[in-house]
Amino acid sequence: MEETKINMPLLGDAFPELEVDTTHGPMSIPADLKGRWFVLFSHPADFTPVCTTEFVAFQKRVGQFEKLGCALIGMSVDQVFSHIKWVEWIQEKLDVEITFPIVAANDAVALKLGLLHPGKGTNTVRAVFIGDPQGKVRLMLYYPQEIGRNIDEVVRVVKALQISDQQGAIPAGWPENELIGDRIIVPPAKDQRTAQERLKTKEYDCYDWWFCHKPLQK
């Protein structure tokens, strides 16, 4: 039996070029999103309970993503007409209007992103890809079909990526880290002289020269 090869982008790679049909019409990803952050998230299938809860949760946070200049795009291997009907059902039954596009992926698209896993049938796994304004893959999350995602975590990591690009590393649980709250970790010293000076400067607060932190610039 021929083994199916799973391709998936790596962190820092250019996002795979996708020409897709969506509920908002054809899209070129990431070309149509150039200059914007974006979250592309896959779901196993339309008209399933866990996926429905996720789509409602993403929609409830659209305003938060928009504040971050971040576009949302859903995706599964269902056809466009299925997506449209499901979106209509969500609006009619749950009174939630899904305003972001949903990609109708084929197997080729799904395989480019590592969404079809052996032993999981033809449904895509739950994946989240965060891309930056240059079209680079910055973060990936993969969940099994039976576990719904925490959408607040997706909002958090988009915000954290944007801040880390400008200010420094982000601690665990940010912005409510147990040690330093919402403060930012200073990059470690790269030479002995800088390490010695770290503990003398008042610019940072330090536990030691390799663990210094500074206030978040808002």
Q: Which two tokens stand for residue 176?
A: 């409510």
Tell me which amino acid residue 75 is. Answer: M
Longest dimension (CA), the chain: 65
The CA-based angle 136-157-84, given to 5 degrees, is 75
Residue owning tokens 């003398």: 200
Distances in Å between the Cα of 71 and the Cα atoms of 6, 88, 164 are 26, 21, 19
CA distance 98 to 59: 6
51 belongs to the catalytic site:
yes
Q: Are 83 and 102 in contact (CB under 8 A)?
A: yes
Catalytic residue from among 51, 70, 206, 212:
51
Q: Which residues are catalytic?
A: 51
